């Protein structure tokens, strides 16, 4: 049953692409999450409203539909606006960039909640104390907040990574040649759908299991010196 | 790298010598194609884009002195992709229809073949000429068709009583036909012949019913789609089609894939 | 924006939404029915009982739903002679059956994990008290553990319902005409990407927050005994997304 008929290398290529697109999306999601969390906790009403709209909309619409909107809709929209302003520009989304933008954008909304929780979890007295002993707000943020935010955010980010890497399978719908797409091509040629999709499933499962183990180690590392309740 | 190897392949396939010095001042044209529609355009097991459309596209690029690059795009997004400037022309067996003309411009046709049904040899079904009688004969039958094709539109408008199921690629529809989930599939007769009937998986299947070639749905044959208003590009491509028809290049590519004249009347 | 196309296609989109809700509902009911016993089995100390449940949960939570759908829908074709022998092919032949089956197993796995956590979170004292009163086995589960666990699981479960509802959009890939499927068919012909997809998106959004609103109501009702005063806390916004 596991005779991959010479298409094994193709799946291997696909797996690497899946990991690459997943990691790039995670970086974007973390950036979006930090910005989103800043917006949610901001004094500025516009920033708060923007952040709230972002998480509300993203979490209310299926990923597949968002992917279709971003991939097919955004370039036309940007070009339309540019044309109205008198510019002729080409917005070329290759599937990789569109995939990273979509997945990063979607999971940025989830990361927003994670970081918001982490910001709140740091007792405000600590920042006040840091400011009181003369640290600038940037220095206080870097020395006092950041190290603790990471610790509080790590479990949540780990979960986001594991959901996100599975969501990358959707990018196959816009022809990025990642694991899912490669399985599909192999299936088309060999007519052995179960064999290839099951192999792909096991590869995703391996990523999940390795990520779970990695998450435990990182959390242990991040929590070193913290007494357990 | 990919572009380079395609250029090399183009030269090899068509047997025309191109010097690398030419590349510098040639107009760059990106060509969108589907890559899942054998024998017209598909990806072989080496991961290379091949097929009739691809060879024609390469020949046209040589004739028009374009520096061409291929972009693979799934069918249901192929026109939005053109409008979004992901590429400049679609060479993917796209039929020239009135509906599509509202969104894009077309060159003249570069081939034309009728649409047909395919079903299992063991299945007894009599599909009479004419769509009204055909609709009655096929009421309740599960018919697979590729999303966003002229065949989908034709079926929806003329066979409303059939159970129409749409797929992202023709391959998936063929797979479900082989699996017995579908009674029939409808597509271009050549695509079905080469992509299904002439393959190992197609041995239990055959054409059913008449040829369909209604200009309202099936259009005026397959042409090259470009964005509206880009007349210079359209004229160059039309001229290139005439050139390869005249100099025998078209015939050579035709004979590589088919044993009859695919250009049609 | 072309509003006419939205008006014209709205009835079709509504039909799609009906199928989306139907599939979600079926998968939820059956997934829930599977998840309760599975969660209890998952917590069994018997080494022949919990590992298979653990493997089931790990597989369905650790792989993309898209792979699972393809595995069931196209994968079944590879075993067609076998399935025909047992008379099962008649079911697997239908995309609808494959979709509901996959979504049921998927949500059952996630829900099992949610219930497992909730059962473990039931205060040990309550279980001890029940045992002291002479309850054990099924009676203990039925009267004490499960009611408490289900209440504890409600917030996480409401998120799972929303995820499942949105995940049903994937069934459009295996030919079903759910909301996303209908939207894709309309876009394929009219090319009005924004008008249609954004309308469909807003429909998903409305139902998502409708579901969440219902769950907030249920949570509110069920937590009556933990609230201080009936008109007490005004800060709890029942529609506030995801806490």
pLDDT given at position A98: 83
The answer as to whether C111 is a domain residue is yes
Mutate: best of A49, A61, A185, A200, partner C, most C CBs <10 A: A61
Domain containing A101 — which CATH number? 1.10.3720.10
Q: Classify residue C122: in a domain, yes or no.
A: yes
B107 and B52 fall within a common domain: yes
Q: Are the beta carbons of A65 and C173 separated by less than 8 Å?
A: no
Say if B83 is an interface residue toward chain A (CB within 8 Å): yes
| Nearest-5° Cα angle at B71, B192 to B47 | 65
Quote the tokens at residue C233: 């806390």
Let me know if residue A135 belongs to a domain. yes
Q: Is the pLDDT of residue B33 over 60?
A: yes
Which CATH number do you get for residue C47? 1.10.3720.10
Query: Do B180 and B137 lie in a common domain?
Result: yes
pLDDT at res. C35: 96
> Is the CB of A79 less than 8 angstroms away from the CB of B43?
no
Q: Is B12 on the interface with A (CB under 8 A)?
A: no
Q: What is the mean pLDDT of chain B?
A: 86
In a domain, C240, yes or no: no
Say which residue the tokens 């159970």 belong to: B163
Residue B139 in domain = yes
Residue among A223, A102, A214 nearest A162 (CA): A214
pLDDT at B212: 92
Average pLDDT of A59-74? Answer: 86
Q: Give A139→chain C minimum CA distance, Å.
A: 31
Residue A229, in any domain of the structure: no
CB of B16 within 8 Å of a chain A CB? The answer is no
The tokens describing B51, both together, are 């097929």
Between CA B81 and CA B229 the distance in angstroms is 16
In 3D space, the residue among A24, A67, A15 whose CA is nearest the CA of residue A181 turns out to be A15
A neighbours by CB contacts (3+ pairs under 8 Å): B, C
pLDDT at C229: 59
Please give the average per-residue pLDDT across B144-169, as a whole number: 92
* Radius of gyration for the alpha carbons in chain B, expressed in angstroms and rounded: 19
Beta strand B27-33 pairing with B184-188? unpaired
> Which residue of A59, A63, A213 to mutate against C (max C Cβ within 10 Å)?
A59
Band (C231; pLDDT cuts 50, 70, 90): low
d(CA C171, CA C178): 7
Q: Do C193 and A173 touch (CB under 8 A)?
A: no
In terms of residue numbers, what domain contains B122? 115-218
Same domain? B232 vs B106: yes
More confident residue, A74 or A31: A31
Tell me the three state secondary structure of residue B87.
Answer: coil
Task: Please state which of the ranges B255-264, C60-69, C106-115 shows the lowest mean pLDDT.
Answer: B255-264
Domain that holds residue C65: 3-223
Give a yes or no: residue A195 inside a domain.
Answer: yes
Cβ count within 10 A of residue B264: 14
In angstroms, rounded to a whole number, what is the distance separating the alpha carbons of residues B149 and B33?
A: 14
Per the structure, the count of domains in chain A is 1
Domain count for chain B? 2
> Looking at CA atoms only, how far is residue C157 from chain B in angstroms?
33
The angle formed by the CA atoms of residues B118, B120 and B122, to the nearest 5 degrees, is 145
Yes or no, beta carbons of A193 and C75 under 8 Å apart: yes
| Residue B84 sits at the chain A interface (C-beta within 8 Å) | yes
- Residue A3 lies inside a defined structural domain of this protein: no
Distance from CA of B219 to the nearest CA of C (A): 15
Based on the fold, state whether residues B7 and B108 are members of the same structural domain: yes
ipTM for the predicted complex: 0.86
Over range B45-56, report the average pLDDT: 89
Cross-strand partners of B142:
B163
User: Residue C242 falls within a domain, yes or no?
Assistant: no
- Look at A59 and C68 and tell me if their CB atoms are within 8 Å: no
In a domain, A42, yes or no: yes
Q: Do C185 and B179 touch (CB under 8 A)?
A: no
For residue B99, the chain C residues in CB contact (below 8 A) are: 189
Other residues' Cβ atoms within 10 Å of the Cβ of residue A65: 22
Does C232 reside within a domain? Answer: no
Looking at residue B131, its pLDDT comes to 83
Contact predicate C20/C178, CB 8 Å:
yes
The Cα B31–Cα A211 span in angstroms is: 40
Query: What is the SS3 assignment for C204-237?
Result: HHHHHHHHHHHHHHHHHHHCHHHCCCCCCCCCCC
Instruction: Flag whether residue A194 sits within 8 Å of chain B, measured between CB atoms.
Output: no
Range of the domain at A75: 8-222
CB-based contact, C188 to chain B, within 8 Å:
yes
Tell me what pLDDT residue C228 has: 65
User: How far is A69 from C117, CA to CA, in rounded Å?
Assistant: 36
Our CA dihedral for B154, B157, B161, B162, rounded to 10 degrees, sits at 20
Let me know if residue C241 belongs to a domain.
Answer: no
Spatial distance between the Cα atoms of A72 and A76, rounded to a whole number of angstroms: 7
Is the same domain home to B242 and B203?
no
- For residue A177, give the nearest of A116, A96, A123, A71 by alpha carbon: A96
B-chain residues near C188 (CB < 8 A): 76, 147-148, 152, 166
Comparison of pLDDT for B90 and A67, the residue scoring more: B90
Locus of tokens 């510098």? B24
Confidence check: pLDDT of A80 > 80: no
| pLDDT for the residue B195 | 82
Q: Is the pLDDT of residue A95 over 90?
A: no
B203 touching chain A per CB within 8 A = no
Does residue C159 fall inside a structural domain?
yes
| Whole-number percent of chain A with pLDDT over 70 | 96
Q: Which residue in the set B79, B166, B167 is minimally distant from C191, CB to CB?
A: B79
**Overall domain count for chain C:** 1
B57 in a structural domain: yes
Q: How far apart are CA B197 and CA B199, in angstroms?
A: 6
pLDDT reported for residue A229: 53
* Percent of chain A residues topping a pLDDT of 90: 49
C201 vs A65, A113, A169: nearest CB: A65
**C-chain residue closest to A168, CA distance:** C64
The highest-confidence range among A77-86, A219-228, B46-55, by mean pLDDT, is: B46-55
Contact C194 A209 (CB under 8 A): no
Q: What is the secondary structure of C142-195 as a DSSP string?
A: IIIIHHHHHHHHHHHHHHHHHHHHHHGGGGGGGT--SHHHHHHHHHHHH--HHH
CATH number at residue B61: 3.40.190.10
Residue B24, pLDDT > 90, answer: no
Residue C72: which of C95, C51, C48 has the closest Cα?
Answer: C95
Q: Does C90 touch chain B (CB under 8 A)?
A: no
How far off is chain B from A50, nearest CA to CA, in Å?
Answer: 27
Evaluated on CA atoms A31, A32, A35, A37, the torsion sign reads negative
Cβ distance of A113 and C242 shorter than 8 Å: yes
Give CA–CA dist B104/A99, Å, rounded.
26
Picking from C191, C192, C195, C196 by the largest number of B CB atoms within 10 A of its own CB, the best residue to mutate is C191
**Across B202-216, average pLDDT:** 91
Spatial CA neighbour of C115 closest among C147, C80, C71? C147
Q: Least CA distance to A8: which residue of chain B? A: B45
Residue A80 near chain B (CB below 8 Å): no
**Residue B46 and residue B31 share a domain:** yes
CA separation for the pair B42, B52 (Å, rounded): 9
Write out chain B residues lying below 8 Å of C75, CB-based: none
């Amino acid at each position: 049953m596991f005779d991959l008929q010479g298409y094994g290398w193709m799946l291997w290529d696909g797996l690497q692409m899946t990991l690459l697109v997943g990691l790039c999306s995670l970086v974007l999601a973390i950036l979006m999450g930090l910005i989103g969390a800043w917006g949610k906790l901001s004094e500025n009403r516009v920033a708060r409203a923007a952040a709230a709209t972002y998480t509300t909309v993203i979490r209310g619409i299926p990923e597949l539909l968002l992917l279709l909107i971003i991939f097919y809709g955004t370039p036309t929209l940007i070009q339309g606006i540019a044309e109205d302003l008198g510019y002729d520009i080409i917005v070329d989304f290759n599937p990789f960039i569109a995939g990273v933008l979509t997945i990063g954008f979607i999971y940025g909304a989830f990361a927003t909640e994670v970081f918001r929780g982490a910001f709140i979890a740091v007792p405000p007295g600590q920042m006040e104390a840091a400011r009181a002993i003369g640290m600038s707000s940037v220095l206080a943020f870097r020395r006092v907040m950041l190290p603790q935010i990471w610790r509080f955010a790590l479990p949540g980010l780990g979960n986001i990574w594991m959901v996100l890497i599975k969501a990358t399978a959707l990018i196959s719908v816009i022809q990025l040649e990642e694991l899912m797409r490669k399985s599909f091509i192999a299936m088309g040629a060999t007519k052995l759908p179960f064999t290839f999709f099951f192999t792909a499933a096991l590869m995703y499962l391996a990523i999940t299991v390795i990520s779970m183990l990695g998450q435990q180690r990182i959390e242990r590392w991040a929590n070193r010196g913290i007494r357990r309740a | 790298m990919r572009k380079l190897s395609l250029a090399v392949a183009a030269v090899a396939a068509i047997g025309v010598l191109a010097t690398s010095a030419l590349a510098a001042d040639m107009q760059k044209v990106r060509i969108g194609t589907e890559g899942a529609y054998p024998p017209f355009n598909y990806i072989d097991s080496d991961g290379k884009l091949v097929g009739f459309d691809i060879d024609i596209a390469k020949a046209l690029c040589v004739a028009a002195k374009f520096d061409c690059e291929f972009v693979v795009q799934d069918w249901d997004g192929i026109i939005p992709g053109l409008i979004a400037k992901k590429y400049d022309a679609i060479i993917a067996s796209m039929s020239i229809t009135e509906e599509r003309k509202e969104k894009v411009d077309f060159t003249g046709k570069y081939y034309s073949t009728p649409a047909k049904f395919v079903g299992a040899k063991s299945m007894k079904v009599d599909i009479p000429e004419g769509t009204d009688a055909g609709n009655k004969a096929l009421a309740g039958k599960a018919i697979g068709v590729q999303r966003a094709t002229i065949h989908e539109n034709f079926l929806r408008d003329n066979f409303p009583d059939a159970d129409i199921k749409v797929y992202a690629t023709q391959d998936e529809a063929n797979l479900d036909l082989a699996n017995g989930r579908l009674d029939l599939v409808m597509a271009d007769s050549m695509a079905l012949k080469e992509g299904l009937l002439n393959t190992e998986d197609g041995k239990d299947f055959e054409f059913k019913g008449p040829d369909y070639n209604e200009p309202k749905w099936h259009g005026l044959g397959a042409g090259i789609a470009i964005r509206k208003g880009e007349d210079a590009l359209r004229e160059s491509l039309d001229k290139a089609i005439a050139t390869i028809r005249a100099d025998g290049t078209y015939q050579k590519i035709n004979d590589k894939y088919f044993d009859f004249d695919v250009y049609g009347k | 924006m072309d509003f006419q196309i939205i008006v014209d296609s709205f009835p079709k989109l509504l039909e799609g939404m009906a199928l989306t809700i139907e599939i979600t509902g079926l998968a939820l009911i059956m997934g829930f029915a599977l998840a309760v016993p599975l969660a209890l089995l998952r917590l069994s100390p018997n080494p022949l009982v919990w590992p298979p449940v653990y493997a089931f949960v790990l597989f369905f939570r650790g792989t993309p739903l898209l792979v699972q759908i393809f595995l069931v829908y196209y994968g079944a074709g590879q075993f067609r002679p076998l399935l025909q022998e047992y008379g099962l092919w008649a079911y697997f032949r239908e995309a609808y059956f494959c979709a509901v089956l996959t979504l049921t197993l998927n949500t059952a796995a996630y829900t099992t994990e949610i219930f497992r956590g909730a059962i473990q979170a039931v205060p040990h004292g309550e279980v001890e008290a029940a045992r002291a009163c002479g309850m054990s086995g099924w009676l203990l589960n039925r009267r004490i553990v499960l009611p408490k666990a289900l209440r504890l699981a409600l917030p996480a479960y409401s998120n799972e319902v929303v995820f499942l509802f949105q995940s049903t959009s994937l069934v459009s890939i295996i030919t079903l005409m759910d909301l996303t499927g209908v939207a894709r068919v309309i876009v394929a012909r009219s090319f009005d990407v924004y008008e249609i997809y954004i309308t469909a998106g807003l429909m998903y959004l409305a139902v998502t927050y409708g579901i969440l609103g219902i769950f907030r109501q249920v949570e509110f009702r069920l937590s009556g005994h933990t609230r201080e005063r009936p008109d007490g806390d005004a800060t709890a916004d029942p529609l506030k997304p995801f806490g």
